[in-house]
Amino acid sequence: MGLNSAVISPIENVLTNIHPVDETFYGLAQARLDNLTKPPGSLGRLEEFAKRLVAITKNPIPELDKKVIFTFAGDHGVADEEVSAYPKDVTRQMVFNFLNGGAGINVLARHAGAGVVVVDIGVDYDFVGASPTPTWDSPLTAFISKKVVMGTKNIRSGPAMTREEAVRCIEVGIELATEYARRGYKIFGTGEMGIANTTPSSAIAAVLTGRPVSEVTGRGTGISDDALRNKIKVIEDAIAANKPAPSDPTDVLSKVGGAEIGGIAGLVLGAAANRIPVVIDGFISTAGALIAYCLEPKTKDYMFAAHNSVEIGHKAMLEKMGLRPILDLDLRLGEGTGAALAMLMIEAGLKIYKEMATFGEAGVSNEIQN
């Protein structure tokens, strides 16, 4: 599926470890759910979440005691085309905001009881020289330098990255997933930060879903009508100039993608290989998830779609993967905010499954009268 074994054997290795979920565990979970003090199926998707967790983990009584959201940060050369309402410097500024605990993802991750790992995978700034560390009192926030590029190049005039750089971005995500699985984390969330990153995400959506650019391109940070028309033209020009191959997701990532999108793709692959559920945030995160899905469709079994973004291309990508969003709250911030909120719903489903009394325990009749 678009792999060059001479270059990306680590990706091939992780793909061989992604297996379909075991249907037997769905049956075990369903039997317990049907024995709880409620009419069958009456808690709707909460029951679905619990069944999926049991099947993904192969654990009849799974735990979600350690949760983490990875916020990948990267800059984009296409920002020079005025496709965003904000300047490129905001990417760097927001990374520091994450580390100071002042961003939306910090607030909602705290609410969900999840850690936040900020990953510099492609910001056009030397954070190592700045020695960034979390300054707010929380053991749940970390900064990790995994820089592959100092920002991507302008996709309107050439590829975003070399193929080797795109591969390395995917490998970064795989490595993080494996490391945090070994550290005992039970569920991952995806997030991102990168000014102009809805532009490469729309390009990926157009190429991999086969939809026209105009049908998958939205306003991002809230641009005007004129700016939106320019953005659509920029993406059309980028696809025409680079000719990304829909059959080769790594080629698509390298030609019209972004570093943080590649990191998210790798995180999804690594989560699936380690049987860790992964909650996909919004539009940009879903572009990364779609890259992973096109590399290995079985990754779908391990993904939860957090929400339905306001960005118009989001639905097309979710439909391509056959994923149904958990929430619909008109969100369009990114960072992992939707993933944090969806984790609360997923955990609620698990608590119902584990803590609700059975008919026998409660002394309640489960006989249905005709």
114: helix, strand or coil: strand
Contacts of 202 (CB under 8 A, 6+ apart): 213, 216, 217, 218, 231, 235, 313
Please report the pLDDT score of residue 67 as a whole number.
Answer: 97
Q: Decide: pTM greater than 0.85.
A: yes
Which residues are the active-site residues? Answer: 335
70 strand-pairing partners: 117, 190
Which ranges of the chain does DSSP label H, i.e. alpha helix? 9-16, 23-34, 44-57, 89-99, 104-112, 127-130, 163-182, 198-209, 225-242, 249-256, 259-273, 283-295, 313-321, 337-355, 359-362
End-to-end C-alpha distance for the chain, whole angstroms: 54
SS3 sequence of 162-220: CHHHHHHHHHHHHHHHHHHHHCCCCEEEEEEECCCCHHHHHHHHHHHHCCCHHHCCCCC
- What's the pLDDT tens digit per position in 265-316? 999 999 999 999 999 999 999 999 999 999 999 999 999 999 999 999 999 9
184 CB-side CA count, 13 A: 3
Q: Which CATH number fits domain 9-17+63-345: 3.30.565.10, 3.40.50.880, 3.40.50.10210, 3.30.1360.10?
A: 3.40.50.10210
Map residue 28 onto helix, strand or coil: helix
Triad 229, 232, 238: Cα angle to 5°: 140
Is 7:164 a contact under the CB 8 Å cutoff? yes
- Give the pLDDT confidence score for residue 140 in this predicted structure: 72
In contact, 11 and 269? CB cutoff 8 Å? yes
Q: CA torsion 348→54→292→18, rounded to 10°? A: 160
Please list, in sequence order, all residues whose beta carbon lies within 8 angstroms of the beta carbon of residue 58, skipping any fewer than 6 positions away. Answer: 22, 25, 275
In the chain, domain spans: 9-17+63-345
Q: How far apart are CA 289 and CA 269, in angstroms?
A: 9
How far is residue 212's CA from residue 157's CA, in Å, rounded to a whole number? Answer: 20
Q: What is the pLDDT along the chain (370 residues), one digit of tens a residue?
A: 445 444 446 899 999 999 999 999 999 999 999 999 999 999 999 999 999 999 999 999 999 999 999 999 999 999 999 999 999 999 999 999 999 889 999 999 999 999 999 999 999 999 877 666 665 445 578 899 999 999 999 999 999 999 999 999 999 999 999 999 999 999 999 999 999 999 999 999 999 999 999 999 999 988 999 999 999 999 999 999 999 999 999 999 999 999 999 999 999 999 999 999 999 999 999 999 999 999 999 999 999 999 999 999 999 999 999 999 999 999 999 999 999 999 999 999 999 999 999 888 878 777 766 6
Q: Please report how many Cα atoms fall inside a 13 Å half-sphere around the Cα of residue 281, on the Cβ side.
A: 32
